[in-house]
């Protein structure tokens, strides 16, 4: 049975004032082009896509079991219609447990849950000298290691520090095998970043954070991203990255997209929570290790959108950076856009950009 909603619809061709009809997928869009500022109707935009999610609602991806289902439901309430459950650097047995849980969630979406597209393997193939909030279980990898892990869950993204011995060749092997590789938790130089991109890496994990910074005589990994990247993820909670740095990245990286890097503390009161094997504290609007190091976030994608608009982006541009560009990065042409044939992943916002309704594959939450 088809449903229909009316408002200012953000389509691939621009704004349409009219009606979108859908079941599991969008059936039709009727109406005419319009400047949405000229009327007071709601905004209908593509559902949010978050490629970096560690937890929410008191649950952590590394718990395995049904934790990912709880996490997917929490984020769905904030407009996330698709997501990648993200692992931590951990002992092999912990990663296996986490991926088994992700695999189960990816195989069957529960009612009221965001679609779990697969896993973002953020660790353990990172540099032990740039752990950020990751525990020190970093190790190097071979293609066979990754292929074994992919039997447990679809690996959609893999974060790699390319300067580790053997990892530049691994980047090429993974890319040739059709996997998306991104650079992160790295002490690598500008040259290391450029070489990784030339060998098939496509993006950067939480740009600016846990990587070598930009200096005018030593551009670092940040410099490689700003100079050469088409895609990179960024955490726009206004704690991880200064607004000025966000604006710099927006000018340099054409398809900069946003992630939450959210933790189990998301949607929960202040207090202690787990991030993998580490205890973290939610306080003062953020999540930190005992030494004060930022340890993921409590950001949700609806707030990410509002933050981008607050920085001066128009709603269409902000929407692309919390949805369409992430879909394009993964090659998902049926998500991240309101178009006939695409999944009916829709978010309805009022004029203050507050959520009014969320549809996931046509299901009203």
Task: Point out the residues that are catalytic.
Answer: 261
- DSSP string of 136-173? S------HHHHHHHTTTS-EEEEEE-TTSTTHHHHHHH
Q: Are 23 and 1 in contact (CB under 8 A)?
A: yes
Strand ordering across the sheet containing 3-11: 26-33, 14-22, 3-11, 43-46, 346-349, 355-360, 363-364
Whether residue 115 contacts residue 85, with contact meaning beta carbons closer than 8 Å, is answered with no
Given a contact cutoff of 8 angstroms between Cβ atoms, the answer to whether 185 and 130 are in contact is yes
Strands laid side by side in the 48-53 sheet: 48-53, 80-86, 115-121, 155-160, 180-183, 203-204
What does residue 357 show for φ and ψ, rounded to 5 degrees?
Answer: -160, 150
């Amino acid at each position: 049975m088809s449903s229909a909603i009316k408002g200012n619809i953000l389509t691939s061709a621009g704004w349409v004032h009219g009606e979108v009809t859908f079941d599991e997928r969008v059936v039709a869009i009727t109406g005419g082009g319009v400047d949405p500022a000229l009327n007071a109707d709601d905004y209908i935009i593509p559902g949010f896509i978050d490629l970096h999610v560690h937890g929410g609602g008191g649950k952590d991806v590394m718990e395995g079991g049904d934790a990912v289902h709880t996490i997917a439901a929490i984020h769905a309430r904030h407009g996330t219609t698709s997501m990648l459950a993200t692992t931590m650097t951990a002992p092999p047995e912990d990663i296996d447990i986490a991926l088994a849980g992700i695999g189960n969630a990816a195989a069957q979406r529960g009612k009221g849950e965001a679609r779990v597209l697969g896993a973002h393997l953020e660790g353990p193939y990172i540099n032990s000298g740039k752990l950020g909030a990751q525990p020190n279980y970093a190790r190097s990898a071979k293609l066979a290691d990754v292929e074994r892990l992919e039997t447990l869950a679809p690996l959609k993204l893999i974060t790699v520090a390319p300067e580790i011995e053997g990892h530049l060749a691994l980047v090429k092997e993974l890319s040739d095998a059709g996997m998306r590789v991104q650079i992160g938790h790295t002490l690598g130089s500008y040259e290391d970043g450029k070489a990784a991109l030339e060998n098939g890496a496509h993006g950067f994990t939480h740009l600016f954070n846990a990587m070598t910074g930009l200096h005018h005589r030593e551009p670092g990994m940040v410099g490689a991203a700003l100079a050469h990247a088409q895609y990179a993820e960024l955490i726009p909670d206004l704690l991880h990255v200064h607004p000025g740095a966000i604006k710099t990245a927006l000018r340099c990286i054409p398809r900069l997209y946003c992630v939450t890097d959210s933790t189990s503390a998301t949607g929960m009161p202040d207090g202690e929570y787990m991030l993998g094997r580490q205890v973290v504290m939610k306080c003062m609007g953020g999540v930190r290790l005992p030494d004060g190091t930022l340890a993921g976030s409590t950001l949700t994608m609806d707030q990410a959108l509002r933050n981008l608009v607050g920085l001066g982006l128009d709603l269409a541009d902000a929407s692309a950076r919390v949805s369409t560009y992430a879909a394009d990065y993964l090659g998902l042409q049926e998500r991240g856009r309101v178009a006939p044939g695409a999944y009916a992943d829709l978010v309805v916002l009022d004029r203050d950009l507050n959520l009014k309704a969320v549809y996931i594959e046509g299901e009203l939450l």
